[in-house]
Each structure stands twice: as C-alpha cells, then as structure tokens.
Amino acid sequence: MHVAILEKDKCHPKKCNHECRYYCPPVRSGIPTIEFPEENEQPVITESLCIGCGICVKRCPFNAIKIITLPDELNKDVFHQYGENSFRLYFYPTLSKGHVTSILGQNGTGKTTALNILSGLTIPNFGKYDGPGDKDLVMEKFSNNLMGKYFKDLYAGKNRVILKNQYVDQIPRVTSGTIGSILKNIEENGKLDEMIQRLSLEKSLNKDVKECSGGELQKMAIAASVIQEGETYLFDETSSYLDVGERLKVAEIISSLAKEKNVMIVEHDLALMDWIAENVHIVYGTPGAFGVITEVRTSSRAINSYLAGFLREENIRIRPDEIKFESRSIHRYESGFEVTKWSALTKKLGDFSLSVAEGRIHSGEIVGCLGRNALGKTTFARLLAGEMQPDSGDIEKNIKIAYKPQYISTNFDGTCEEMLILALKEKITDTFVKAEIFHPLGIEDIMHRNVPELSGGELQRLSIALNLAIDADLYLLDEPSAHLDSSYRMEAAKILKKVMERNRKSAIVIDHDIYFIDLVSDSLIVFNGEPGMMGESHGPLSMKDGMNNFLKSVGITFRRDKTTNRPRINKVGSALDREQKSTGNYYYEE
C-alpha cells in the first residue's frame, strides 16, 4: 500500500508550473495523480492511483510530497484517519488504574491525537474519514476489550477526563488574570494549597499570566489539572521549561495521583519517564504521515528498545543507529590546547548576584552546565558570548563564538533557506554540513517554510543546525533540547559530539535533560545557590564530581542500566538510593 502525502503549506504550484502532475505514470491513461482545481489552485492527490514510483517527489522543488509504503496488514487496524491523503494512526493505547502509562515517540506520529481520543475531544473513525466518528461504533469495537468500559463511561459522562495541553506558552492567549485567581476559580477538590506548596508557586500567585515565565505557566497548568476532580488525567509534556528538581516534584505529584486515577503522560525526558511510568507504549512511523502504537511494555524494556532503534517483538527497525552511553566520560580533550579561559567573574542584575569560578576550556571539550532555573546559567553564557560585561573579572575574547540563546527570535521575515544562505553563504552547500547536520535534523523538510511559521521544535532544530554549521572556536548552546522530542534530542547530541570531534572545537551546553548532558559532556559546570537571588558556579569538574555535586543538591541518585549503560533514577529511599547516598556516590557506581 502507498500513502501519498501532499503538504499544502509547502506546495507553490504557481512557482513551479504544476510540474509534478505531468511526470507520473497514470498520466498515460489520461488521469493525473495530482490535480489542481482551477477555482482555488489547492492541490489534491488521487491516492488510489498512486503506484509509489516517487517521480512526483523528485520533481517537486519544495519537498511538499511524500510517498510512503505501508504493510498491507496495517489497514486492518486503522484507529483514526484525518482524510484520504492525511495522517493515520494505527492501534490504540490502554490505561491501567494504579499505574502511570506513557506514550513515547517522535513528534508528529500521533501521540497528541491519541490523547485527544482518550479525552473525548476526537472520536476515532477507524479509517472511515468521510464522516464524523461514531461513538456507538467505538463502543462496539471495544466491547470485548479492557478499553470498552473506559469509552462507554467516557461517552456517558461517567468518566470525566482532565487533559493538560502541551502548549503552555499559549495560556496567556486564552485566559487572563493572575495565577492565584485563575487556580482559585477552577479548584474542585481542595488540593489548591497543597499544589501551591509542592510546586513552589507561592511567589507567583499575584503575577499576571501575561508576565509569567514558561516554567511558571507549566507549573500553573499542572496545578490546574490536579485541582480539578476527574477519573482520568492526561498530561501532554510536563517537563518543558522546568529544571530537574521541578520535574521530579511534578513526577511525584503524578505518581501520587495514579494511585487512585487513570493517568497517562506524553514525555520526552527519558530519565523522568523511566522513573515515573510503569507501562510505556512506543509510537513509530513517519511524522505527519502515519504512526503505529505498539503493545504496552515495561518502561525499562521500552526505553532500551527505543534507544536500540529496534522493536524485537514487531521485528521493526525505527532508527538506523543505536544510541550508546558511556559508563565514564572519555576525555577526548585532554591532549587539546586551551581555547579560552576566564578569571573569577561577578555580575549583579537587580536583586540577583552571580559568582563564577575561574575556568578554562580545551579544544575538543564539551562542557555541560547543570543547575536549577534562575541561578545564572544563561547569564554566564551571555557573559562568555559578549552580550553582557562582568562587573569584575576578565574573559579571554580572542576567539570566535557561535551562540544559540535560550529563547529564539522569529523576527526574520523569510524562508529557512534564505536565513541559512544569509548566515552561512557558500557553506550551505558543504557536504559535511548537509549530510551530518542538516539531514539528521530534518532541515531539508523545512527549507521552504517561512521562519515565523515554524513550530517550537522546528525552530529549535533550525537554530541548532545554524549554530553548528558556523565556523567558530567555541559553541554556546542554551537549552538545545527544549521543544525537541526524544528522538531529535538524541540526534542533536550525536551531531554535537561529531562536530566537536571532527573540527577539534569546544562547546558549552546548558540543559536540564540528564540523558542529553550525559551523552555529550566531557566535564561539568554546576550552579548552586538561591533561585532568583544568588548563584555560584563550580567547575569545570570531572563528570563524576560534577554529577555527584549536582545530584546531591536535588537529593536523588542515579544508577546505570546494565543493558544500555543509560542513567536511571533510583527510587527515593530504596536500598540502592540509601547505599549510594551513604557513600557519596550519587551518579557513578564504582
């Protein structure tokens, strides 16, 4: 079976004179596969005529057409389909009361669609896309299934579902008022005071949502979900904008909730998901085209399979390369020369003061930065980049720096290709840049998109690609994993390491994803202090010393998975957790 996908926002028929429609074999019978109705010039693919030759894909200069081959047996299990040439989701997730269930997969493969179906916002049509979904058909399909009672109660109004949306940055557009007033108006179960305390929202209650940071909006959205009374709670991405300590607090709240309710999460922080979820559904497929939800697995098996890129039970490879973790950081930089150094630095911004310890970076070295929010990590990066000047201390500045800020501007009025040409000039055609940076980050797919129209994840990928393609001595990347799904996070980590090793360059990476930091870092700078008041840095330290310093500050310990070597959070209070804390060995097992 061939699935033909034409992305209308990428198609510009007036610019290419409809070339794609004239080169497909069905034209010989007088019926072109791609039609452009005269009244609106909107392209339409006659999917039933598509033979999967791929000629139209090669002819299209805007990468607007995809031809995907699917196994015929998948047609028997279509869960939901948006249209003839639109995204389709195969199989369905299940919930288990008393356990946290998670969905793991790339963006654009149906995770949010699955949550919308479980919440009742979308009625699954089982592939019959030419009409609205039928609730009676859904209950009939699941009559002999564990999910039958779930959907029956959902449609009868007996199963109230609370859905936390992933787009917390859109909250100021749909509501107004202070955090405190908004939460008070929707409280139903008497848990408001508890949530304010557990999420440390006391100082944010009087802030208008239009003035709130992403972290404050995220914690508000989580609190708003928990203080409403429901039977099922669905959380779509809870870790965005939060530091490690805050993520763990949210995980504890969700775990407590799951003891009495149905709970499902979508999460891209694999360390957090591994700690909180007992059951995991992997979703694989082609973003924007189709997604396949697998049978449930334990969190450990699911993550190991995901990192390996191979689903043994389905005999399906979902990624060409395996993601590997090192038990010890291999010091690739030890023989390198000194790239830059700085003396002890201080900087005061209003009521906040930052103290940075003396440090230096060598060629080939990647330094990870860890610490809670509002401790000065971004300020440190801006000092090194020259965007701010320290109140005291000196920074060696006879080097070229490429800086990717935490918040990416979308002010450029043009396409991604135009932006890349302007910034990179002839280097945009460099073989290494195209093959090792642009291709794995999917930049070709967004080349002809206007920059202001990109999603958060697409904009992040573009910014990372642009940053790493520039010739520089030191690369500063502030939260490169933000808005990326777990697959692209792993790809970005691989690309970053490859660029630094090949060019013998150096990088400083600020992030809250432990997997990402563990994959890329040779050494660590750890920030401690009082958020919003005072921050101080320690390091660069060795990975062992740095991680022990950081994890001790948040009160958790990590062990290594015996199969993949990936870091795993120990249950707080477990025998291993107590043993590692007693020896001061929070991260590495000797």
Instruction: List, as one string, the DSSP characters of 82-126.
Output: -STTS-EEES-----TTSEEEEEE-TTSSHHHHHHHHHTSS---T
Token duo for residue 27: 């034209």
* pLDDT of res. 109: 93
382 in a structural domain: yes
89 in a structural domain: no
* pLDDT of res. 2: 65
Please state the rounded mean pLDDT for residues 186-200: 96
How many structural domains compose the chain? 4
Judged by average pLDDT, the poorest of 144-148, 390-394, 545-549 is 144-148
Place of tokens 């994890």: 551
Instruction: Tell whether the model's pLDDT for residue 330 goes beyond 60.
Output: no
Query: Is 534 found in the same domain as 573?
Result: no
372 in a structural domain: yes
Instruction: Tell whether the model's pLDDT for residue 416 goes beyond 90.
Output: yes
Please state the rounded mean pLDDT for residues 283-300: 92
445 in a structural domain: yes
538 in a structural domain: yes
Buried b (16+ CB within 10 A) or exposed e, 410-421: eeeeebbeebbe
Please state the rounded mean pLDDT for residues 540-551: 93
Query: Is 515 found in the same domain as 401?
Result: yes
Instruction: Tell whether the model's pLDDT for residue 336 goes beyond 60.
Output: yes
Place of tokens 């010039």: 41
* pLDDT of res. 289: 84
pLDDT tens for each residue of 96-129: 888 999 999 999 999 999 999 999 999 999 999 9
Q: Look at residues 371, 367, 406, 366 and name the one whose alpha carbon lies nearest to residue 512.
A: 371
Query: Is 576 found in the same domain as 534?
Result: no
* pLDDT of res. 329: 46
Confidence bin at 588 (pLDDT 50/70/90): low
- The domain that holds 521 is classified in CATH as 3.40.50.300
Buried b (16+ CB within 10 A) or exposed e, 331-342: ebbeebeebbeb
* pLDDT of res. 146: 85
Instruction: Tell whether the model's pLDDT for residue 516 goes beyond 50.
Output: yes
> For residue 548, what are the domain limits?
338-554
| Sequence-ordered alpha helix ranges (H) in 450-542 | 456-469, 486-503, 514-520
473 in a structural domain: yes
* pLDDT of res. 72: 58
Dihedral pair phi/psi, residue 450, rounded to 5°: -75, 135
Instruction: Tell whether the model's pLDDT for residue 344 goes beyond 80.
Output: yes
Query: Is 504 found in the same domain as 398?
Result: yes
Please state the rounded mean pLDDT for residues 48-69: 76
Percent of the chain with pLDDT over 90: 70
* pLDDT of res. 399: 92
* pLDDT of res. 310: 94
Instruction: Tell whether the model's pLDDT for residue 451 goes beyond 60.
Output: yes
Rounded to 10 deg, the angle between the 456-469 and 486-503 helix axes is 10
Judged by average pLDDT, the poorest of 6-15, 79-88, 376-385, 437-446 is 6-15
* pLDDT of res. 590: 47
The DSSP-derived string for 551-578 is HHHHT--EEE-TTT--EEEPPTTSHHHH
Confidence bin at 589 (pLDDT 50/70/90): low
Higher pLDDT, 18 or 393: 393
Query: Is 548 found in the same domain as 435?
Result: yes
Query: Is 568 found in the same domain as 473?
Result: no
Instruction: Tell whether the model's pLDDT for residue 188 goes beyond 70.
Output: yes
Instruction: Tell whether the model's pLDDT for residue 354 goes beyond 70.
Output: yes
Confidence bin at 20 (pLDDT 50/70/90): confident
Q: How far apart are CA 26 and CA 149, in angstroms?
A: 47
Please state the rounded mean pLDDT for residues 536-544: 93
Please state the rounded mean pLDDT for residues 423-449: 93
Query: Is 416 found in the same domain as 387?
Result: yes
Instruction: Tell whether the model's pLDDT for residue 71 goes beyond 70.
Output: no
Q: What region, left, alpha or beta, does residue 110 occupy, with left being phi > 0 and alpha being psi -120 to 50 degrees?
A: left
| Sequence-ordered alpha helix ranges (H) in 358-455 | 377-385, 416-424, 431-432
* pLDDT of res. 334: 58
Confidence bin at 414 (pLDDT 50/70/90): very high
pLDDT tens for each residue of 204-232: 999 999 999 899 999 999 999 999 999 99
542 in a structural domain: yes
Query: Is 590 found in the same domain as 503?
Result: no
* pLDDT of res. 15: 75
Dihedral pair phi/psi, residue 13, rounded to 5°: -60, -30
147 in a structural domain: no
Query: Is 510 found in the same domain as 567?
Result: no
Query: Is 456 found in the same domain as 377?
Result: yes
Q: Report which DSSP code applies to 296.
A: P
Q: How far apart are CA 253 and CA 233, in angstroms?
A: 12
**Domain end (from 229, 252, 276):** 229
**Domain end (from 69, 103, 126):** 69
Average pLDDT across the chain, whole number = 89
Query: Is 477 found in the same domain as 569?
Result: no
**Domain end (from 69, 89, 104):** 69
Confidence bin at 62 (pLDDT 50/70/90): confident
Query: Is 484 found in the same domain as 347?
Result: yes
* pLDDT of res. 93: 95
